Amino acid sequence: MKDVFYGKELLIERADAESIEVGEKITLMKWGNVNITKIDKDGDNLHVFGQVDEADQNFKGTKKFSWLIASKEHQMEVHIRELDHLIVKEKIEEADDIEKIVNNESLF
């Protein structure tokens, strides 16, 4: 597993942030549970505040969120490549030639 960078400011999807309520307990993936203490809406900006509770290991019934650290020193450029179906035949049979049923355009 790669290093995970933790920080005081995180980024989550806006739709995820909009689904959170004050007093709610949420789970930040690969970190732990957070008790939401405050939500500020300022125009288009939405800030959610909470306190990490590392002792709370009960993840059942909480909303789960992926997150990124907001620190610019830990940000990097990412290139996304969308792949099509890797296999172009609906049903593979033993006699099939793998070279003919694999979508070579999807490979790097």
- Give the residue carrying structure tokens 């739709």: 15
Checking if the pLDDT of 3 tops 70, the result is no
What are the tokens at 100?
Answer: 């003919």
Checking if the pLDDT of 88 tops 90, the result is no
pLDDT in tens, 46-71: 999 999 998 999 999 999 999 988 88
Residues in the chain: 108
> For residue 105, what pLDDT is reported?
66
Q: How far is CA 63 from CA 10, 29, 31, 38, 59, in A?
A: 16, 10, 13, 17, 9
> For residue 51, what pLDDT is reported?
96
Q: What are residue 75's phi and psi, to 5 degrees?
A: -85, 150
Checking if the pLDDT of 1 tops 70, the result is no
H or E element, residue 46? strand 45-53
Checking if the pLDDT of 43 tops 80, the result is yes
Three-state DSSP state, 47: strand
Checking if the pLDDT of 82 tops 80, the result is no
User: Positive or negative, the Cα torsion across 49, 55, 58, 59?
Assistant: positive
Q: What are residue 101's phi and psi, to 5 degrees?
A: -105, -5
